[in-house]
Chains A and B, each alone.
Chain A
Amino acid sequence: MLILGCDTSSIASGALVRVPVVDGAPDAGHLEVLGSFRTQDTRSHAEAMAPGVRDLLETAGIRGQDLDLILTGVGPGPFTGLRAGIMTARALGWAWKVPVRGVVSLDAVAEGSFHDAASAGHTVFGVATDARRREVYSAVYRLADDATGATGYTRAHGPVVGPAGDLEPQIPMAGRGAELYADVLTPVSGHDQDEPLAELLVASALRTGLDATLESTSPLYLRESDARVPADRKKATR
């Protein structure tokens, strides 16, 4: 099974993932990342995504029509960049006739940090990313605590947006929010600069089960537009 992942909720990234199908179900434990790309900055989503995907496919020698699924991060994240990735995924899926489904972008950060959170003895951890305006996008995850040790995590709360100071200070957080608001947040050690990455987004979706991915790929804005209905017209004379 071939999956293209895209995420533009912070930096822009893309990944081409192959996963074996065993008894009709993808075997998440044996996924193979065929290629990936990521930007360093958070402002070039509309420039980076299309050439990035083109190069990914060319390098791997795979045609878009051969993809089985496109997964796109649906945020939360800064709106303009987020839309660029979702629009890219939707248009690719439309033209290739490949289904497109959504994944909460914070789950990609959880995927990259849950092992270390478990190793550090935590049972609960969180993800916090930069929401600008002195706020973070966040979610809280509960680590699975079966006999074999931590094999996964489930999102217990969120995603939400708000000041970092409103979060439970004792829950360790992964993601750049932990670095930006180090004064009020405790980091999951070594993960306070983690970005949501497309390959981790795909891995997270496979771990949770593709049936649990979102049918809607509309962005999780979490905030309304800033527009205010004008109450009274401004006077030209005083």
Chain B
Amino acid sequence: MTTTSAPREPIVLGIESSCDETGIGIVAGRRLLTNTVSTSMDEHARFGGVIPEIASRAHLEAMIPALDAALDEAGVGMDEVDAIAVTSGPGLSGALMVGVSAAKALAVATGKPLYAVNHLVAHVGVGLLEDSASAAGDTESEASLLSGLGALLVSGGHTEILKVSDISGDVTLLGSTLDDAAGEAYDKVARVLGLSYPGGPAIDRAAASGDPRAFTFPRGLTAAKYMGTVQDPGSHRYDFSFSGLKTAVARVVEGLEAHDEPVPVADIAASFQEAVADVVTSKAMLACTENGIDTLLLGGGVAANSRLRQLVSKRCSEHGIRLVVPKLSLCTDNGAMVAALGARLVQSGVAPSGLDFTADPSLPVTTVSIGS
């Protein structure tokens, strides 16, 4: 490539393999060129949850075809790519290792700089892309997205509230789940109710005809001792717990079955969904208002949930918080988000990660990218 007088937007190829999605995304600065995702979800269905070894095997076989498809769709060659970005954590160890190995090999083969990035921060980074917002949302200007930014990430692997002071280097974890992720609770409750996998859409569908007030299910970690006050916060003011909720649903179902009574699936699904959406959004609102967050990005696969979207939208507008919800294809795990964060790091002059880094299943959110 010859250098041009005006600096062009960096073209970045992003690789994601932290769970059951093999994603390759390519961006030019804030412009999305392609987002190719191959999922092994169907192979996990009969187990009722993601099996790490099955996911890892699928990543290995999907990676090269996904690369071919991505370059083809984007209409760019590897020689035009300025940098490579890869999710190095958090996620499933064996799954991460496949993407990391592919990315390092591509970096060696092409001589391009490689950025090892944080999966959770990448979920936020996708909001920086032009036209990333869903049809209902506003198209945010980059500048407005970057001040007072927070993120609520809800998926099968994560339930977190982040404060994003600087997406290229200053992110703090305000709250997270102590046990199951919200999406995991959906999967387990779907199983108890005899619904299909993945549980999110199945429960959402069943809940549509149910009464969300039929059962009162617990909102985890909302007792005063955990919440405390603004001045004197408790130990888990912004944290979540869904294992008690899951058990509460199981007890109701088993109690009914023990007495040979019919299980009101729709009512239980609606009441469970209400409990999740209520606790997630109320804690998110607390975290936003108490930490100067006036723009909230919703990410993760559970962002597809109708009740969560409805309630977070309602509560954000009540609190004067601007809500940004990327298109669903950009909310679930994908390579475009990795590429988008990578492009931001390139443009911010952050040093690449080199080749010696390790995949880190529990990479803290404070590590946006791994330094060389």
Interface residues of A (CB under 8 A from B): 44-47, 49-51, 53-54, 64, 79-80, 83-92, 94-96, 218-219, 221, 225-230, 233, 235-237
Nearest B residue to A225 via CB reads: B53
A44 vs B250: C-alpha distance in the bound complex, in angstroms?
A: 42
Interface size class of B (residues with CB under 8 A): 35 or more
Which among B54, B67, B106 is the interface contact of A225 at CB below 8 angstroms? B54
A221 vs B255: C-alpha distance in the bound complex, in angstroms?
A: 44
Contact A91 B47 (CB under 8 A): no
Q: Secondary structure at chain A's binding surface: helix, strand, loop or mixed? A: helix
Contact A87 B98 (CB under 8 A): yes
Contact A237 B251 (CB under 8 A): yes
A54 vs B355: C-alpha distance in the bound complex, in angstroms?
A: 10
Which among A45, A53, A95 is the interface contact of B78 at CB below 8 angstroms? A95
On whether A50 and B56 interact (CB within 8 A), knowing A91-B64, A229-B46, the answer reads no
Contact B54 A236 (CB under 8 A): no
A51 vs B358: C-alpha distance in the bound complex, in angstroms?
A: 12
Contact B254 A83 (CB under 8 A): no
Other 7 A-B pairs with CB < 8 A, given A51-B104, A53-B105, A64-B108 = A46-B97, A46-B104, A50-B104, A50-B105, A87-B98, A218-B61, A233-B191
A89 vs B102: C-alpha distance in the bound complex, in angstroms?
A: 9
Minimum Cβ distance to chain A for residue B112 (Å): 10
On whether A237 and B102 interact (CB within 8 A), knowing A46-B97, A94-B64, A225-B53, the answer reads no
Contact B250 A51 (CB under 8 A): no
Contact A87 B63 (CB under 8 A): yes
Contact B101 A50 (CB under 8 A): yes
Which among B60, B67, B191 is the interface contact of A86 at CB below 8 angstroms? B60
Q: Which of the listed residues A53, A87, A96, A230 has the most CB atoms from chain B within 10 Å of its own CB? A: A87
Contact A94 B98 (CB under 8 A): no
Q: Which residues of A contact B255 (CB under 8 A)?
A: 237
B100 within 8 A of A: yes
Q: Which residues of B contact A44 (CB under 8 A)?
A: 358
A97 vs B103: C-alpha distance in the bound complex, in angstroms?
A: 16
A69 vs B255: C-alpha distance in the bound complex, in angstroms?
A: 64
Q: Secondary structure at chain B's binding surface: helix, strand, loop or mixed? A: helix
Contact B358 A47 (CB under 8 A): yes
Interface residues of B (CB under 8 A from A): 46-48, 51, 53-54, 56-57, 59-61, 63-64, 67-68, 78, 93-94, 97-98, 100-110, 191-192, 247, 250-251, 254-255, 258, 355-359
Contact A80 B78 (CB under 8 A): no
Q: Which residues of B contact A84 (CB under 8 A)?
A: 97-98, 101
Q: Which residues of B contact A226 (CB under 8 A)?
A: 53
A233 vs B191: C-alpha distance in the bound complex, in angstroms?
A: 8
Contact B56 A54 (CB under 8 A): no
Contact A227 B60 (CB under 8 A): no
Q: Which residues of B contact A228 (CB under 8 A)?
A: 47
Q: Which residues of A contact B94 (CB under 8 A)?
A: 79-80, 83
Q: Which residues of B contact A54 (CB under 8 A)?
A: 108, 355
A44 vs B97: C-alpha distance in the bound complex, in angstroms?
A: 10
A47 vs B108: C-alpha distance in the bound complex, in angstroms?
A: 13
Q: Which residues of B contact A79 (CB under 8 A)?
A: 53, 56-57, 94
A64 vs B250: C-alpha distance in the bound complex, in angstroms?
A: 58
Q: Which residues of A contact B103 (CB under 8 A)?
A: 91
Contact A50 B355 (CB under 8 A): yes
Contact A227 B47 (CB under 8 A): yes
Contacts A/B (CB < 8 Å), 8 sampled: A46-B101, A53-B105, A83-B101, A90-B64, A92-B108, A94-B64, A95-B109, A230-B47
Minimum Cβ distance to chain A for residue B347 (Å): 25
Q: Which residues of B contact A233 (CB under 8 A)?
A: 191-192, 250
A237 vs B258: C-alpha distance in the bound complex, in angstroms?
A: 10
Q: Which residues of A contact B105 (CB under 8 A)?
A: 49-50, 53, 87-92, 95
Q: Which residues of A contact B192 (CB under 8 A)?
A: 233
Q: Which residues of B contact A219 (CB under 8 A)?
A: 57, 60
Contact B250 A237 (CB under 8 A): yes
Q: Which residues of A contact B250 (CB under 8 A)?
A: 233, 235-237
Q: Which residues of B contact A45 (CB under 8 A)?
A: 97, 101
A92 vs B106: C-alpha distance in the bound complex, in angstroms?
A: 6
Nearest A residue to B100 via CB reads: A46
